[in-house]
A and B are shown apart, each in its own frame.
Chain A
Amino acid sequence: MSLLFRSRQQGAKQVKISGFRRFVMFWVHNVQQAVASLGELARYPMASLMTMAVLGLSLTLPATLYVVVKNTEAIGADWQHASEITLFLRKNLSQQEVSTFHKRLSLSNDIERVRWIDKNEALQEFREESGFGEALDALSNNPLPDVLLVTPVANKRGTAQAQQLAQQMRNEREVEQVRLDLDWLQRLEALLNLVRDGLLALAALLCIAVVLIVGNTIRLNINSKRDEIMVMKLVGATDGYIQRPFLYTGVWYGFVGGLIAWLATAVMILWISGAVTDISELYESQFSLVGLTFNEMLVLWLLAIGLGLLGSYIAVRKHVRTIEPQ
């Protein structure tokens, strides 16, 4: 590898290391440097832990929000499947016409089942249950329309598909009015979108903050080792060799920071799950908050490590090169 003395590497007593050995040693050195970086961090446990905690807690907020959004989405998805289209038919239709229309709808591929609420039966029911019987007798004809309750097939129950189906119904000659109880669902969805977008923006901001914090910590680290870096440069260390321990420090920040984020997210979810249980009890529903899955935890961890690495990379790229031996 000698640049100035090409014959040097062939000298019997000189450096004789095979390529394979160099490759193996490269990885061995990496592991050694990783462990050494960890040891270095352990020498100043409070300072290291504080940086790690900042990293971890910064990621806790978006992680917790993510869990909340995920659970709300799950509820929304459950309710979405219950969508039902109510058709109010024209009053001037004969019994025969309604029956035909009912049959025609039942045959449609998009519709699973149609329930017909006959206007006479409905009137009867209303008369019995409402207590307005005598008032109704005063009317000359039945004010209620025939009603068809249409349940779409499973794959037509999504918001968009159900809406499309409702639009089709609206165009039918027999139909006076169509009601699709999707408005609140759409509102929920819009709200979720808002929270999701906000979550993304928040997560992005916090990630940038994490990168800056790690970068700054590593920069201070580099400056405190100025003399050592100079000596290493004097005896022929490449920038890559000098940078590696700092990069590993960043990785360790992310590694431990990710664990802290897990822990803090779990505590946060435990904290709010009490309130969630209270709410679901009020609504008489069985609902419990689902925490982070294994994959999501892995993603969170890798994200933390990646951010730690990125922060330290930016710092070493900028600062190791500028330190030159005097």
Chain B
Amino acid sequence: MIKFEQVSKTYPGGFQALNNVSFHLERGEMAFLTGHSGAGKSTLLKLISMMERPTAGRVLINGHDLKRINARQIPYARRDIGMIFQDHRLLMDKTVLDNVALPLLIEGYSMQEARKRVQASLEKVGLGDKLRHYPMMLSGGEQQRVGIARAVVNKPPLLLADEPTGNLDPKLSMEIIRLFEEFNRVGVSVLIATHDLGLIARLRYRTLTLRDGRMINDGLQES
């Protein structure tokens, strides 16, 4: 599903965020990506979501080389990737309904059609009754779940999460991870970047580890 072939990323100014990283995440697989702050987790996710381009090497999604996707096509490619952020990036002046419906409206749905899917998506994350609320009125965990509902509302085959549990207590964190597991069960590939090692330890998923831009463990070599 996601394949990195000797990928390096050097930012203007000379900082090398990723150094010769290779790995392959299979279709329908769920994995953690871990490492210290600045180890390159965010950069790796940005390469997948095409917010950054690799300096060297190839990134492939579903066999498609991302180098071949030009600037005009990026929006269309991003519709296949559900993205979740630590700061959830909701639009604070829009209702939960409008926030979650955004990816659908962009794809050309009418609001009536979108509403059904939004409802279903919010039910899945347990917020079916919060349609009319504004993000400000929700707790941190609920805001994060709205972010997840937005990421999955158009049923992307791939989910990326950047520190989705960063601001949450362990119980809420586990609830969020259980949500990802549910999506994974219906065939969605999931990659979660986190430095919450306690969380990873409690779950037995493949774990990719980065240190100073190098992949020191891709979760396959041992055990």
A interface residues, Cβ below 8 angstroms from B: 1-5, 8, 13-15, 17, 21-22, 25-26, 28-29, 227-228, 230-239, 241, 324-326
The residue that A4 contacts in the complex, of B80, B102, B105, with Cβ under 8 A, is B80
Of the 9-residue stretches B4-12, B70-78, B209-217, which lies at the interface with chain A? B70-78
Q: Does B150 sit within 8 A of A, measured CB to CB?
A: yes
A235 to B105, CA, bound (A): 11
Contact A238 B157 (CB under 8 A): no
A5 to B61, CA, bound (A): 9
A227 to B75, CA, bound (A): 17
* A residues less than 8 Å from B78 (CB atoms): 233-236
B interface residues, Cβ below 8 angstroms from A: 49, 51, 61-62, 64, 69, 72-73, 75-80, 83, 89-91, 102-103, 105-110, 150, 154-155, 157
The residue that B155 contacts in the complex, of A13, A21, A28, A239, with Cβ under 8 A, is A13
Supposing A2-B79, A4-B64 touch, asked if A235 and B106 sit within 8 A by C-beta, the answer is yes
A186 to B109, CA, bound (A): 66
A231 to B90, CA, bound (A): 8
Supposing A3-B77, A5-B62, A234-B89 touch, asked if A25 and B109 sit within 8 A by C-beta, the answer is yes
For the A-B complex, the count of residue pairs with Cβ-Cβ distances under 8 Å equals: 82
Main secondary structure, interface of B, reads loop
Nearest CB of A to B120, in Å: 11
* B residues less than 8 Å from A17 (CB atoms): 107-109
The residue that B110 contacts in the complex, of A15, A25, A228, with Cβ under 8 A, is A25
* A residues less than 8 Å from B108 (CB atoms): 17, 21-22, 25-26, 29
Which of B73, B78, B154 counts the most A-chain CB atoms under 10 A from its CB? B78
* B residues less than 8 Å from A241 (CB atoms): 75, 106
Contact B80 A8 (CB under 8 A): yes
A145 to B134, CA, bound (A): 99
* B residues less than 8 Å from A325 (CB atoms): 51
Contact A324 B51 (CB under 8 A): yes
Which of A15, A21, A26, A233 counts the most B-chain CB atoms under 10 A from its CB? A15
A324 to B83, CA, bound (A): 15
Nearest CB of A to B43, in Å: 12
The residue that A5 contacts in the complex, of B49, B72, B107, B157, with Cβ under 8 A, is B157
Closest chain B residue to A239 by CB distance? Answer: B75
The residue that A326 contacts in the complex, of B51, B72, B83, B107, with Cβ under 8 A, is B51
The residue that B75 contacts in the complex, of A15, A22, A29, A237, with Cβ under 8 A, is A237
* B residues less than 8 Å from A4 (CB atoms): 61-62, 64, 77, 80
* A residues less than 8 Å from B80 (CB atoms): 2-5, 8
Please list 24 pairs of residues, one from A and one from B, whose beta carbons are closer than 8 Å in the complex, sorted by A's number: A1-B76, A2-B76, A3-B76, A3-B77, A4-B61, A5-B62, A5-B80, A14-B155, A17-B108, A227-B91, A228-B91, A230-B89, A231-B102, A232-B102, A232-B106, A234-B78, A234-B89, A235-B78, A235-B103, A235-B150, A236-B77, A236-B78, A237-B102, A325-B51
Supposing A15-B154, A236-B106 touch, asked if A231 and B91 sit within 8 A by C-beta, the answer is yes
* B residues less than 8 Å from A13 (CB atoms): 155
A14 to B64, CA, bound (A): 20
Top 10 A-B residue pairs of the complex, sorted by shortest distance between their CB atoms: A236-B79, A236-B78, A235-B103, A238-B75, A237-B106, A4-B80, A236-B75, A3-B77, A3-B76, A25-B108
* A residues less than 8 Å from B106 (CB atoms): 232, 235-238, 241
